[in-house]
Structure 1
Amino acid sequence: MTALTAFRHFDELQPFNDRQHLLECIAATEEAPDVMTFVFKSDRDGWFRYLPGQFVTLELPVTPDEPVMRTYTLSSTPSRPFSVSVTVKAQPGSIGTRWMFERLKPGMRLKAFGPLGDFSFVRHPGERYLFISAGSGITPMMSMTRWFADCAPQTDVAFLSCARRPADLLFRAELETLAAQMPHLALGFVVEGHAPKDGWHGLRGRIDAAKLALLSPDFKDRTVFCCGPEPFMRGVRSLLIEAGFDMARYHEESFQPAAAPADEELAIRAGQGEGAETPASHTVSFTMAGKQAECPPGRTILQTARAAGVRIGAACEGGLCGTCRVMKLSGEVDMQHNGGILDEEIEDGYILACCSRPLGAVQIEA
């Protein structure tokens, strides 16, 4: 199809719907060693509606029988709504991301869930922002900064990017271009080490109190967004707490699984009161599979399904990504999610299997 015949006016297109549409890969670009950006469009004439900083979960056909679910933040901006992109880093031993590097080519289609997530200035607005990232944790910051550049270029943003080496500083050239267009975008780059051939004259080492104060002297007055490996975010949190920062204005992106509540907490949620006996097991019926299983106290619908040999796709298992969304046909559950399901989906009867625990007999469409 030529570009001429493919053209559609915006008002002729429908927004992407993860229950009806697939993502079609249209480009794959190497950004840095072991880092690639994959660009997708809807497999139908559509556009993408999401918040800067949100994520999607991709179903990757790594094996014919058991696809792998992986959650990635969108590095693209909704101000350019005809495509979305994810920028991913292949870690040692990674399965899904390595498959994307080796097998995902333009023209291939993938099932996607989302977009979802609360890690966005839209959910946590501020007068001035401080973005702190390490490695591929820069992706939600790029999504937000690209949106600011397109729609609100006067926004005050201090953008700190950390990496192991200068070559690992993702989007550095683009950020420097955006800084020329955004008068209040201040950039700071920190690398742990470098070689003479890199010609690096910037800050070295890890982010600490001195570097933070140097790169963003007014950081205490800003709304902070932080994303990167858990040890990195833990270090940033400690820096801010020690500096007396108001942590109500601190936000981070994390896909850590949610811990199971204690038996006493389960009893309180079930309305049995503090000090009540341990909750009883409940029967979960999986109607499409034609199976029933007993769900012991504290176990989730997802864990029960796996024990019964019923497949429900899941990625983060922390109530974030929305991949394990299933229809609850009857019964009541205690669902403690982290933003991975919309209010209207809950009203329609959907639950997230990974963070839902039955309060009685439950029927699930799975």
Structure 2
Amino acid sequence: MKGPFGPGAVLAEHDRWDEDPAGRLLTCTRIVRRTDQIATFEFASDDRRAFAHEPGQYVTISVDIDGQRVSRCYTVSSPSTRPYSVQLTIKREPDGVMSRWLHDNLKVGDRAELSGPAGEFSTAFHPAERLLLLAGGVGITPMISILESIHDLAESVDVVLVHNSRAPEFVAFAEELARINQDNPHVRVVQAVSHNPGGSWLGPVGRLDVGMLTEHVPDLREREVFICGPDSYMVAAETLLLGLGVPIDRIHQESFVLAGAEDVAVDPTAEGTHTVTFARSGKTTTIPDGLTVLDAAKDVGIRIITSCQNGICGTCKTGKISGDVDIAHNGGIRQREIDNGKILACCTRPRGHVVIDA
């Protein structure tokens, strides 16, 4: 599936803001409380520029918190078919600096910087006639974007969504999913909760397991599978799928938290240094072996927008004009982009003199 407002869309350049490498200030136009801990924050451009993204992709939001610039990645929960606003559905995490600030401080009319989109967790990049979407908790966010996009386009894609929540009061997008389930004959929504203390829940009760999958998705081996949720949920879901015979190349997962990019040892006694020149800024610095282009940029006061700093999100993607480098990433950049001179500043280490387009 490739929506009309995806990368291949015909949108006038002056009507788009999503490819601005420095991000763009947007205004919060609406806040919807989904549960006690989950809210949707809607943003729009003051000059009505469109946002082109594929369902399932994410953006990086940046705000100033206590005098520090903080950036985090969040999935776009709005469909690609409605490009003149961007919705981010975010759970308030007790230890989450950004999520707590958004829930406790952001108001309609406030502004934030958004950059993107990025990511390949999308049916646009892995098209199939039959899909299985597995969502744990707030992992429903990319799935609602996918489902709403399919629904808006009236596409005849056969989709099964299995959404697992802790308890009935934690279910997000219940009304929207019920509407899609009723209106679209090609979509089947299975909502399950792990606990039902009041006995009011009429749907399946229990965690995702072999029985739940085989009962509701008997043809799962023939489907392209997308998984999003807490790390423990995604590990368990992948283990179940592999055990049931789903090929690994049909399983796609989204997560902004990995163990980290491949470690490159930094020898504190090494005498080797590398020169990094930033062409557009006209600045040059020298860094020791093992440090990254991002380290070099910080050294001379050049701001490169970054988020995960693990080679995952692709936020710090920039151009390399010349020089040899080592890139140890976690999926945030494609090989053809590397072949065309792109790098991720957070996980790219120079091997000699390099010139960066920044």
With normalisation by structure 2, the TM-score equals 0.85
Query: What does 1:125-136 correspond to in 2, within 5 Å?
Result: 125-136=127-138
Q: Work out the CA distance in 2 between the residues paired with 1:257 and 1:304.
A: 24
Q: Give the one of 186, 191, 194 matched to 1:192.
A: 194
**What secondary structure sits across from 1:22 in the alignment?**
strand
Partner of residue 5, structure 2: none
Distance 1:43 1:360, change over 3 A: farther
Amino acid at match of 1:156: D
Bigger mean CA deviation after superposition, 320-329 or 218-227: 320-329
**What secondary structure sits across from 2:24 in the alignment?**
coil
Amino acid at match of 2:228: C
Number of residues of Structure 1 aligned to a counterpart in Structure 2: 340
Q: Give the one of 18, 29, 41 matched to 2:44.
A: 41
Contact 1:21/1:43, CA 8 A, preserved across alignment: no
Distance 1:168 1:116, change over 3 A: same
Q: Deviations over 1:26-65 (max 9, x none)?
A: 001110011110011113221111101110000021123x
Q: Work out the CA distance in 1 between the residues paired with 2:271 and 2:231.
A: 34
Contact 1:138/1:227, CA 8 A, preserved across alignment: yes
Q: Work out the CA distance in 2 between the residues paired with 1:292 and 1:336.
A: 22
Counterpart check, 1:207 vs 2:208: yes
Gaps of 5+ in 2: 1-10
Q: Deviations over 1:225-268 (max 9, x none)?
A: 000011110001111111121111110102225432556xxxxx
Q: 1:132, CA displacement in angstroms?
A: 0.2
Amino acid at match of 1:250: I
Counterpart check, 1:296 vs 2:289: yes
Partner of residue 248, structure 2: 247
Partner of residue 89, structure 2: 87
Q: 1:357, CA displacement in angstroms?
A: 1.5
Partner of residue 6, structure 1: none
Q: 1:216, CA displacement in angstroms?
A: 1.1
Counterpart check, 1:282 vs 2:241: no
Contact 1:295/1:301, CA 8 A, preserved across alignment: no
**What secondary structure sits across from 1:204 in the alignment?**
coil
Query: What does 1:103-182 correspond to in 2, within 5 Å?
Result: 103-182=105-184
Partner of residue 16, structure 2: 15
Q: Work out the CA distance in 1 between the residues paired with 2:319 and 2:221.
A: 44
Partner of residue 360, structure 1: 352
Distance 1:262 1:332, change over 3 A: closer
Q: 1:312, CA displacement in angstroms?
A: 4.0
Q: 1:336, CA displacement in angstroms?
A: 4.6
**What secondary structure sits across from 2:53 in the alignment?**
coil
Contact 1:13/1:45, CA 8 A, preserved across alignment: no
Q: 1:91, CA displacement in angstroms?
A: 0.9
Bigger mean CA deviation after superposition, 328-337 or 199-208: 328-337
Q: 1:204, CA displacement in angstroms?
A: 2.1
Q: Deviations over 1:178-212 (max 9, x none)?
A: 1111102111122111221x601322221111111
Max Rg structure: 1
Contact 1:153/1:181, CA 8 A, preserved across alignment: no
Contact 2:273/2:286, CA 8 A, preserved across alignment: no
Q: Work out the CA distance in 2 between the residues paired with 1:325 and 1:98.
A: 27
Query: What does 1:249-328 correspond to in 2, within 5 Å?
Result: 249-255=250-256, 256=258, 258-261=260-263, 280-285=272-277, 288=281, 292-297=285-290, 299-305=291-297, 312-328=304-320
Contact 2:261/2:328, CA 8 A, preserved across alignment: no
Counterpart check, 1:335 vs 2:296: no
Q: 1:290, CA displacement in angstroms?
A: 5.2
Q: Work out the CA distance in 1 between the residues paired with 2:115 and 2:336.
A: 16
Contact 1:116/1:339, CA 8 A, preserved across alignment: no
Partner of residue 24, structure 1: 27
Amino acid at match of 1:232: Y
Q: Work out the CA distance in 2 between the residues paired with 1:247 and 1:279.
A: 44
Query: What does 1:225-236 correspond to in 2, within 5 Å?
Result: 225-236=226-237
Distance 1:325 1:63, change over 3 A: farther
Amino acid at match of 1:40: F
Amino acid at match of 1:14: D
Q: 1:279, CA displacement in angstroms?
A: 11
Bigger mean CA deviation after superposition, 172-181 or 288-297: 288-297
